Amino acid sequence: MLTIKNLGRNKLRTTLTIMAIALPLFVFLVTSSLKQSLNDAFASMEKSMRVATHQKLTYTTLLPQRMRGEIESIAPEGFLEGVCRSTWFGGKIEGSQQAYFSMAVDCDTFPVVHSEFEMTPDEIARFNDTKQGAVVGQEFAKLVNVGIGDKVTMKGAIPPFVSLEFEVVAIPKGLEDARLYFRLDYYDDVYRKITGDSMGVHNFWMRCSSPEARKWALTEIDRHFRNSQNETVTETESNFIRSFIESGGDWIGMASKVGLMVVIVALSVGFNTMSMSFRERTSEIAVLRALGFSASRIGFMVVSEGLLLGLAGGIIAVAPLYLLTHLREVSIPQFGKFTIETSVAGTALFVAVLCGFLAALVPAAMAVRLQVATALRKVA
């Protein structure tokens, strides 16, 4: 009770301190969730039998379409369930500046290589029968407000910046993100009419039938194209995605550093508040000691104040994610959604309490070592 009364003596400072702890802890919660979600995604990808082949030097250099046939011809029978060529389009809807994740793919092998999208036989048939057909994610359909049979026009992000009209033929239940996949042969036809050349390919995605087949793909494909005009690098899906993300900066490492920095900020705010409170109450603590309060009890009182400050800040940082259900999932452009896991929220709450505890240690130690006679003499 005495601890709560002490915190309530300067309500404005206590409130600002709690909010100053809550905001960094909220950032810590989000960055930690981002890191965990990415690591979980990488771990899941590592278990998949999917690999990607791209140009050896860069991700943006195009490879000839004919290389699909070469890869299929050198693969031992039964090793590859499918080879799907993919080319980045990065289309923008006319009148909008937002670029959507959009790729041109082989319609015959796309449902096999990306079986996690769970396309139905009817969706696969419509995709194969419709030259301008597009498979879109549920989030894309929601954002653009389109359904099966609707048309959407997008302008590509790479030269010659062609505009293509698509007909939505599938919204698979396993594809939740704001993505659009369309037929490579359709893109190739339009590209040929404009440039006279065939459209190149950024990646060859393959689903392997077994770990042995994946091991073969990771070594033999690159060996086959070694010393040719189209040297390649073949990677597991997790390594490919990780390398692609890190090519624009170490986002995962940056998230960790930001999380650490905001924890230090919260700790500094808590320490400053506890130190100010101790200095203001030096005479009162001396009087309590003179009245018979033990040093350990005084120290516990100071530490409990820090714990309450940290706990209050942590609850404010975490509670909105549970009270407001639409904040349980945070959406990141081009990466989709990731969930604030309960374990991460619990960690954030623990870190908040820990910050309060650490911030109170020095003031508590000073209170325990306080010389009663000297402090009372200063009061007099």
Condensed to tens digits (0 to 9), the pLDDT of residues 299-325 reads 788 788 888 888 888 888 887 765 654
The encoded tokens of residue 208 equal 């392997």
pLDDT digits (tens, 9 = 90+) for 260-313: 787 787 778 777 777 777 666 677 777 777 777 777 787 788 788 888 888 888
Helix locations, the chain, DSSP H? 2-7, 11-47, 67-74, 110-113, 121-129, 138-144, 184-195, 211-224, 237-246, 251-280, 282-290, 295-323, 342-368, 372-379
Q: Terminus-to-terminus CA distance in the chain, angstroms?
A: 28
Q: What is the pTM of this model?
A: 0.72
What percent of the chain has a predicted confidence (pLDDT) above 70?
Answer: 86
- 3-state SS class at 48: coil
pLDDT digits (tens, 9 = 90+) for 199-228: 999 999 999 999 999 999 999 999 999 999
Q: Are strands 336-339 and 80-88 parallel, antiparallel or unpaired?
A: unpaired
**Ranges 11-20, 160-169, 285-294: which has the least confidence:** 285-294
Mean pLDDT, rounded, for 100-124: 95
- With 60 as the cut, is the pLDDT of residue 259 above it? yes
More confident residue, 176 or 368: 176
More confident residue, 95 or 7: 95
Mean pLDDT, rounded, for 367-374: 71
Q: pLDDT at position 96, please?
A: 80
Q: pLDDT at position 113, please?
A: 95
Q: Is 145 left (phi over 0), alpha (psi -120 to 50) or beta?
A: left
What rounded mean pLDDT belongs to the chain? 84
More confident residue, 367 or 209: 209
- With 80 as the cut, is the pLDDT of residue 49 above it? yes
Handedness of CA 9, 291, 279, 316 (dihedral sign): negative
Q: pLDDT at position 325, please?
A: 44
Q: pLDDT at position 52, please?
A: 96
What own/partner pairs with CB < 8 Å and gap ≥ 24 does 212-218 have? 212/79, 213/49, 213/76, 213/78, 213/79, 213/80, 214/49, 214/51, 216/75, 216/76, 216/79, 217/51, 217/53, 217/75, 217/79, 217/80, 218/51
Q: What are the CA-CA distances from residue 71 to residues 53, 59, 81, 83, 312 (Å)?
A: 10, 19, 12, 8, 59
- With 90 as the cut, is the pLDDT of residue 147 above it? yes
Question: Rounded to whole angstroms, how far apart are CA atoms 305 and 243?
Answer: 46
Residue 231, φ and ψ in degrees, nearest 5:
-70, 145
Spans of all domains in the chain: 2-42+250-379, 58-230
**Ranges 40-44, 90-94, 152-156, 197-201: which has the least confidence:** 40-44
- With 80 as the cut, is the pLDDT of residue 340 above it? no
Nearest CA-CA partner of 53 in 70, 34, 31: 70
pLDDT digits (tens, 9 = 90+) for 17-47: 788 788 888 888 877 777 777 777 777 777 7
Q: 361 CB contacts (<8 Å, ≥6 apart)?
A: 303, 306
Nearest CA-CA partner of 245 in 38, 91, 54: 38
- With 70 as the cut, is the pLDDT of residue 328 above it? no
* Buried-state track 331-345, b at ≥16 Cβ within 10 A, e below 16: eeeeebebebeeebb
Q: In this structure, are residues 206 and 217 in contact, taking their beta carbons and an 8 Å threshold?
A: yes
Q: pLDDT at position 334, please?
A: 46
Residue 241 pLDDT level (bands cut at 50, 70, 90): confident
Residue 162 pLDDT level (bands cut at 50, 70, 90): very high
Query: Would you call the peptide bond into 160 cis, given omega within 30 degrees of 0 as the criterion?
Result: yes
